[in-house]
Copies of this chain bind each other. A is one copy, B any other.
């Protein structure tokens, strides 16, 4: 195959996957997890049902792709965060900011991920893996914080889970995240609660 054709083909494939991603998200928003059928996705995307199977081997495949793509930005950012040279507290602060922005942007979809957790069941392989990977990355930040002496000693993974649980708990109340100010408030609430609990005297949050 000529190189050009290969590139174009790849581009078309990616475009198609993107289209299907958007269609899936649209269907999930409209009908929820239960009502997400391959027929509806195909109709929403304006392609034949059979075509879905050229790009994704199964419904599970498609959903894994979709959820990964939704989670990926945060995940990516997390990777970068961890790698950077800066205080753990800064990393955490930044992560939470990105997280809230992402949730604000994909509000309805996150209802699926954080609230209407039906999704989880279907996504044990991919989603949970991703989620656990995220936990591990976060744990690294907490580990750093502990060695910096700003967090009280403890299991970093547990701390990560507590932090995420705290976030979920807050999001469960479906707070308004529309504006920067609102997000700032929630940010302060979560971090304030978390830090004043786990911070040592030296790292005490003001």
Q: Interface of A with B (CB < 8 Å)?
A: 32-34, 89, 115-118, 120-122, 124, 145, 148-152, 154-155, 157-159, 161-170, 172-173, 175, 189-200, 202-205
Contact = CB atoms under 8 A, between A and B. Distances in A.
B33 A154 contact: no
Identical copies of this chain, number: 4
Nearest to A122: B34
Main secondary structure of the interface of A (DSSP, over half): helix
A94 to B, nearest CB: 15
A195 B198 contact: yes
Nearest to A88: B203
Q: Ordered nearest first, which 7 A-B pairs have the shortest CB separation? A: A165-B169, A150-B203, A118-B121, A117-B117, A197-B197, A195-B205, A195-B199
Nearest to A165: B169
Given A165-B167, A169-B164, A203 B149 contact: yes
A124 to B, nearest CB: 7
A84 to B, nearest CB: 19
Given A195-B203, A202-B150, A205-B192, A162 B166 contact: yes
B194 A196 contact: no
Contact of A198 (B33, B159, B164, B169): B159
Given A145-B203, A162-B170, A195-B198, 5 more contacts: A118-B122, A168-B168, A194-B197, A196-B198, A196-B204
B197 A193 contact: yes
Contacts of A148: 203
B120 A116 contact: yes
Contacts of A203: 89, 145, 148-151, 195
Contacts of A151: 198-200, 203
Instruction: Indicate the member of A32, A148, A149, A197 with the most B CB atoms within 10 Å.
Output: A197
Contact of A193 (B115, B167, B198): B198
